A and B are shown apart, each in its own frame.
Chain A
Amino acid sequence: MNRSRAPILKLGETLIASVQEALMDADLVGLRDELVAEVKKYRATCVIIDVTVLDVLDSFAARTLRHIAQMTQLLGARTVIVGIQPDVAFAMVQLGLTLEGTETALDLEDALSRLKIRVGRERSAQ
């Protein structure tokens, strides 16, 4: 499936889908199915989709991302799209693709801090 193009990592109750290269429509659909299944399976409360590497997001991709957000919402998980690049963001709004109703964050770090997920040492090493 799309495992190589967008592996899904599990971090506590959060699933992180990290897009590694340009996604074909079929890959997007695969990612959607897989994410929805894994949210259910792991009882995840948050989903982060990192699209930093994408230099284009077309209407199908935008719609699929929105659908993922809505579907995971129905399963009780909040989805955040992270890493949309300035050029991509500009191109998207010109095409009217605004991911309405979907949460966005600057990057993975930003999303984790918004979701109040702490990564790293709780206290310094002895």
Chain B
Amino acid sequence: MANHETLPAETSISREEVLRRKAFLEFTEDDVAVLEGVNDLATQYAESMIEDFYKHLMAFEETRTFFADPELLRHVKEMQKAYFMRLTQGHYDQEYVANRIRIGQVHEHVGLPVKSYFGMYCFYLRAVLKRLREEYGEAPEQAFAIFNSLMKLTFFDIGLAIDTYIESRERTIEGQQEAIRELSTPVLLLRPGLLLLPIIGLIDTRRARQLTEQLLRSVRTNRAAVVVIDVTGVPSVDTKVANHLVQTVEAARLMGAVSIVSGIAPDIAQTMVRLGIDLRRIRTVGDLQSGIEEAERLLGYRVVKERPADGQGEKEGP
């Protein structure tokens, strides 16, 4: 409803898709003719329709907030009138579809909930029905035919608008997935020759590849001899994930590095055994601490506690 500049790229629907949608709604040339026939009537009632429409919207807190600015309200009323008039102007072609999609995008963009969107359409239809009854009180058959055609067109519009909502959500999800993928899995140098690879979250094929490549590069640049792969943060393991893990370990071994896998959760251990995943070629230890201790042992380190930790010395006094 407000600024149009920041809208996403226009979604286009093919000519064939438009025809398929119309066919499914049984929206035919007869309907077009019927709607064009009431254009004069629509012009006559447009003003009062729009007034009623906004009166309804302003009566509810949820929708009122969208029209707090009187200047904006005047603008959207103009737009709404144009929308309403367009319903009976015929030529429901690609340009019409593009216009409807655009309207959907504007509403999605300002954050109008879908329920309000539907509610507004429902009000529209009811308002039209009321006026048709007044106008065609003597000829209900005719009123019925007009309403029938209008309903088809309205549902056609709703379909387009809701698609823009769904598409926008899908774009958001896609973007987030990309962001999650790009959250790199760090490879940390813990001691000379000792790398730590903490894995958090699900491992899919793509991530496993990225992870392995990163690890192998780090093995080379840091001249690492031992790698601790900590999987405490991996929520579930299936055959595929386990195979990725085995591949990572094998690849590191080809470069002369020993891998220690730490932090396999009890239920994951159960799953792995049940799935028959063979991890005999992988060194595993219970938790990260044991992993690091094992790695230090392999590298020949010995960590010795020399004195009490800072700040605890006094407490030990008499």
Chain A residues with CB under 8 Å of chain B are: 81-82, 84-90, 92-94, 98-100, 104-107, 110-111
**21 intermolecular pairs with C-beta atoms under 8 Å apart:** A82-B256, A84-B254, A85-B220, A86-B213, A86-B255, A89-B255, A90-B209, A90-B212, A90-B213, A92-B251, A92-B254, A93-B247, A93-B248, A93-B250, A93-B251, A93-B254, A98-B250, A100-B281, A106-B223, A106-B224, A110-B223
Residue of A nearest to B217 (CB): A86
Query: When the two chains form their complex, are residues A90 and B220 in contact, meaning their CB atoms are under 8 A apart?
Result: no
**B22 in the interface (beta carbon within 8 A):** no
Compute how far the CA of A38 lies from the CA of B255 in the bound complex, rounded to whole angstroms: 26
Q: Is the interface of B mostly helix, strand, loop or mixed?
A: helix
Q: What are the residues of chain B within 8 A of A106 when measuring CB–CB?
A: 219-220, 223-225, 255-257
Output the least CB separation between A15 and chain B (Å).
18
Output the least CB separation between B261 and chain A (Å).
15
Most buried by B among A89, A99, A105, A107: A89
Interface size on B, residues (CB 8 A): 21
Residue of A nearest to B244 (CB): A93
0/1 interface trace, chain B 34-48, chain A, CB 8 Å (1 if under):
000000000000000
Query: When the two chains form their complex, are residues B247 and A94 in contact, meaning their CB atoms are under 8 A apart?
Result: yes
**B97 in the interface (beta carbon within 8 A):** no
Residue in contact with A104 in the complex, picked from B209, B213, B255, CB distance below 8 Å: B255
Q: What are the residues of chain A within 8 A of B248 when measuring CB–CB?
A: 93
Residue in contact with B254 in the complex, picked from A98, A107, A110, CB distance below 8 Å: A98
Most buried by B among A86, A87, A106: A86
Query: When the two chains form their complex, are residues A104 and B251 in contact, meaning their CB atoms are under 8 A apart?
Result: no
**B253 in the interface (beta carbon within 8 A):** yes
Q: What are the residues of chain B within 8 A of A84 when measuring CB–CB?
A: 254-255
Q: 4 additional contacts, CB 8 Å, given A99-B254, A104-B253?
A: A87-B213, A92-B251, A100-B281, A106-B225
Indicate whether A89 sits within 8 Å of B251 (C-beta atoms), given known contacts A82-B256, A106-B256: yes
Query: When the two chains form their complex, are residues B251 and A90 in contact, meaning their CB atoms are under 8 A apart?
Result: yes
**B197 in the interface (beta carbon within 8 A):** no
Query: When the two chains form their complex, are residues A105 and B247 in contact, meaning their CB atoms are under 8 A apart?
Result: no
**B288 in the interface (beta carbon within 8 A):** no
Q: What are the residues of chain A within 8 A of B251 when measuring CB–CB?
A: 86, 89-90, 92-93
Residue of B nearest to A80 (CB): B256
Indicate whether A86 sits within 8 Å of B253 (C-beta atoms), given known contacts A93-B247, A110-B225: no
